[in-house]
A = this chain, B = another copy of it.
Amino acid sequence: MTAIRALTIREYLDLAKETVDDELNGLLPAADEFPPSIHAAMRHSVFAGGKRLRPVLCIEAGKLLEGDEQGILARACAFEMVHTYSLIHDDLPALDNDDLRRGKPTCHRAFGEAIAILAGDALLTLAFETLLSPGPPSGEAKLRVACELARAIGTRHGMVGGQVADLESGAEQVDAARLEYIHSSKTGALIRMAVRAGAIYAKASEEEVARLTTFGEKTGLAFQIADDLLDETGSTQALGKTAGKDKEQHKATYPALYGVDASVRRASRLVEEACEAIDLYGSRAQRLQALAHFLVERTS
């Protein structure tokens, strides 16, 4: 007889991924819906095997603050659409020029550049449709999250701003302040916003929203440092994308600026601080805390 035990974080993530994937499947147009190439391309990239960390963080933040789980699920998927749009455009020949993503051909390798550009555009657009469409949570919360998300992925300390700063910064010119800008904007802002959205959807007080935002911000930064470390130490096979590209392209990374050991320590400290920010929720915070730890301890 198998003893009843708590799910490990990996088992939990596998289950959560299934739920998110089902929802994404319903939200994305069918692959044969006209015009089929764009829908096939959107599905190719969305279902290439992401871990769904952003939707899961949003959902778990909502759960922690007792939000309506079903109402949050669809909106949470919008964060995965935005993430996928950013990957498709980042991978393009004019940007990172990558052939592999999550172990599969990148969108432009599979569908050509024109469709890849438009598939990214379409996923960004569908993300906003998904955040704004009728149904719960409240109109006020939907309006606030969508507007804050637009800022978080824009050019002023947002995702696109971080991407531009990253593109234009060779490793030699990057100081600590610039690297912090790149990391907090390019990856951090969307992760922070996914967590924050869960809290806003749950109608949390401003104090609670701020607390979860701190958790999201520190987790997001730790995640990016871990990503830099994986690029340096991981294999192409394990990562499902070309390893060592940051160094090859003289990208600004944490290990390049501070060394591997200091980067590992900084990531661990950020996770500790993230977890502390929500410690007062006691056992209800355990899932989010386990997720934060997982994000920096993962190997792919």
C-alpha spacing A165/B33, complex, angstroms: 12
Nearest B residue to A185 via CB reads: B35
Residues 34 to 72 of chain A near chain B (Cβ within 8 Å): 34-35, 37-39, 42
User: Is the Cβ of B39 less than 8 Å from the Cβ of A118?
Assistant: no
**Cβ of A245 under 8 Å from chain B:** no
Number of chain A interface residues as a range: 35 or more
User: Is the Cβ of B35 less than 8 Å from the Cβ of A165?
Assistant: yes
- A154 partner residues in chain B, CB cutoff 8 A: 122, 125-126, 129
User: Is the Cβ of A153 less than 8 Å from the Cβ of B168?
Assistant: no
User: Is the Cβ of B129 less than 8 Å from the Cβ of A160?
Assistant: no
C-alpha spacing A163/B167, complex, angstroms: 28
How many monomers of this chain does the complex have? 2
Nearest B residue to A134 via CB reads: B147
Which applies to chain A's interface (DSSP): helix, strand, loop or mixed?
A: helix
- A117 partner residues in chain B, CB cutoff 8 A: 89, 92, 94-95, 117
User: Is the Cβ of A37 less than 8 Å from the Cβ of B112?
Assistant: no
| A164-B35 in contact given A129-B147, A132-B143, A140-B139 (Cβ < 8 Å) | yes
C-alpha spacing A33/B134, complex, angstroms: 36
- A142 partner residues in chain B, CB cutoff 8 A: 143
- A122 partner residues in chain B, CB cutoff 8 A: 154-155, 160
| A160-B114 in contact given A143-B143, A150-B132 (Cβ < 8 Å) | no
User: Is the Cβ of A95 less than 8 Å from the Cβ of B121?
Assistant: no
C-alpha spacing A85/B120, complex, angstroms: 13
Partner of A153, one of B34, B125, B143, B160: B125
C-alpha spacing A109/B7, complex, angstroms: 54
Contact with B along A154-177 (1 / 0, CB 8 A): 111010110111011000000000
Nearest B residue to A39 via CB reads: B155
**Cβ of A266 under 8 Å from chain B:** no
- A29 partner residues in chain B, CB cutoff 8 A: 155-156
Q: List 15 A-B contacts (CB under 8 A).
A: A33-B156, A34-B161, A85-B121, A92-B114, A94-B114, A95-B114, A120-B121, A121-B121, A122-B155, A126-B150, A126-B154, A126-B155, A129-B150, A129-B151, A139-B143
Q: Chain A: residues with CB nearer than 8 A to chain B?
A: 29, 33-35, 37-39, 42, 85, 89, 92, 94-95, 112-115, 117-118, 120-122, 124-126, 128-129, 132-134, 139-140, 142-143, 146-147, 150-151, 153-156, 158, 160-161, 163-165, 167-168, 181
Given A128-B150, A129-B147, 4 additional A-B pairs, CB 8 A: A34-B165, A118-B160, A128-B147, A139-B143
